[in-house]
Chain A
């Protein structure tokens, strides 16, 4: 169990290192001189050279990489070219916002997805088909478009919910319950958007996993010994179907963070995704690099957590490989 987790942590660290290296290389290979961009068109050759030396850009690529990696690991992520703020502070505010959005949506998606998928696997063909059509459509919705349609319905037509941001303009003046209510109202639309799409994906997968388990011999044995359908589903089918489903949570994390990028951009949700999009549009390289690395770390950490979850559910892994 410990060895298993150790290997996975190591693999995760390699992925993060790979992402950081890839980002570094891509940014260095990008056309355009960052120093010229920084100093503007009026800079003299001497000024350019001085700035280049100050930034360490006159050294060989490998040395630059080593220095940059050291600084990055130490938490010195530089300053945003566009705003001048330290990148670390910029992203430090953003990570909790993204985690709140992605985390809540993940939990809701899978709870609802499990319910819908389980309902489908036990339902008749008509219900099954209807639900299948619903889930495949939900899964196909582009987050930014669904977001716009929800804004149209709930903000412009119904005037119920705010369309963007994490808090109202007057949020600083609010206290206690009204402040919480303001937060929740801003949270509602981005969360609904991500969750609706997530439920589609999760339910489709749960249905498939349940069907795979239902055709196993041990389910027939359970039926044969006279257990009620509910008991068979809950004790024998659901428990076994849960293993691939939890594994899927880990595999779907990159897609979930990708989806969050669009949803954050549409709702101006102050998360990592929105910062990344803004930085990309402004060619703000330090922020782009750091946001990419932070996303990779979040994905890898999420994968490790799901590994723990699988090990906790599946006794074969919990007791080590020999037990199988």
Chain B
């Protein structure tokens, strides 16, 4: 843990995620009016960043074509992006742990078929699958969470499978089995708690990925629907006003990149902290 705190990548990742989460939770306190609030459209639309409108409201990131405050929408969009991303990752971790745990502890046809399933889903282009599912039903945030969860569990399953397999040969597991405990209980109580460390890395990387994909779907109009702000549909709406008001599309994109970079760096730092092999390397190389 101490090593993690000294890692600048980890502190950057945690700081960005903490700030974005804080802003999202405290949305009304750090912004002016609601995300869909419109005043006098003609007077307040396309205000440049750092402008103050006729009523005296300050717009740190300017306004869009309806005179809505971009900063406020960004903050409320963070709620959607983070919530959808976190829930999707939670769902994929649950599925991944289940599939990986069962595949790791039940050799034979169960393991073979679950691993084949994992490889199969891994070979699918995820966005194509997302688009296919989005085409089937009315787009909504819940659908995006389910679809992202259902297409994101494979790396977790592989990691957990590997861990469980190596743990299953350890004496304490053999002991638990020898005591006559049911295999399911051994898996849940004795093996999985020890196999979950690498899942954290995968979850951190998966969060960035899920947030990016949610924004992508919303950008194409297949995710979160306007007027609810999400970073993806904000970029889409800024696309039409790229010439007059580039900040409308630029701001949510910068936020998106920051959050994804934070997740990736945090994941990398966790990986190094948890994996003794790369830890040894970073020490050995001239630093």
Please report A residues at the B interface, Cβ cutoff 8 Å. 11, 14-15, 18-19, 23, 26-27, 29-31, 124-125, 136-137, 139-142, 144-146, 148-149, 151-152, 156, 211-212, 214-215, 254-255, 257-259, 261-262, 265, 276-277, 279-281, 283, 285, 288, 291-292, 295-296, 299-300, 303
Complex CA gap A292/B281 in Å reads 42
Residues of A within 8 A of B26 (CB): none
Complex CA gap A144/B232 in Å reads 10
Asked if residues A136 and B261 are in contact (CB atoms below 8 Å), the reply is yes
Asked if residues B221 and A137 are in contact (CB atoms below 8 Å), the reply is no
Nearest-neighbour CB distance to chain A for B33, whole angstroms, equals 26
Other A-B pairs beyond A139-B264, A254-B123, A255-B125, 17, CB < 8 Å = A14-B120, A27-B136, A136-B265, A144-B216, A145-B256, A148-B238, A149-B249, A152-B243, A212-B281, A215-B280, A257-B125, A258-B127, A276-B128, A279-B135, A280-B220, A292-B132, A303-B123
Complex CA gap A23/B250 in Å reads 36
With an 8 Å Cβ cutoff, the count of chain B residues facing the other chain is: 47
B212 at the A interface (CB under 8 A): yes
Which of B126, B135, B261 meets A140, CB within 8 Å? B261
* Contact code string B181-202 (vs A, CB < 8 Å = 1, else 0): 0000000000000000000000
Residues of A within 8 A of B41 (CB): none
Name 5 interchain pairs, CB-CB below 8 A, sorted by A.
Answer: A15-B123, A140-B257, A211-B285, A257-B127, A280-B132
Complex CA gap A160/B185 in Å reads 65
Please report B residues at the A interface, Cβ cutoff 8 Å. 119-120, 122-129, 131-137, 208, 212, 215-216, 219-222, 235, 238-239, 242-243, 246, 249-250, 253, 256-257, 260-261, 264-265, 268, 280-281, 284-287
Complex CA gap A303/B124 in Å reads 12
Residues of A within 8 A of B238 (CB): 148
Asked if residues A257 and B128 are in contact (CB atoms below 8 Å), the reply is yes
Asked if residues A277 and B120 are in contact (CB atoms below 8 Å), the reply is no
Nearest to A156 among chain B residues (CB) is B243
Nearest-neighbour CB distance to chain A for B127, whole angstroms, equals 4
Shortest Cβ-Cβ A-B pairs, 7 listed: A258-B127, A140-B260, A145-B253, A280-B135, A30-B136, A254-B125, A140-B261
Residues of A within 8 A of B212 (CB): 140, 142
Complex CA gap A136/B131 in Å reads 26
Asked if residues A29 and B246 are in contact (CB atoms below 8 Å), the reply is no
Nearest to A251 among chain B residues (CB) is B122
Q: Which of A26, A148, A262, A300 has the most CB of B within 10 A?
A: A148
Complex CA gap A222/B214 in Å reads 48
Asked if residues A156 and B242 are in contact (CB atoms below 8 Å), the reply is yes
Complex CA gap A152/B244 in Å reads 11
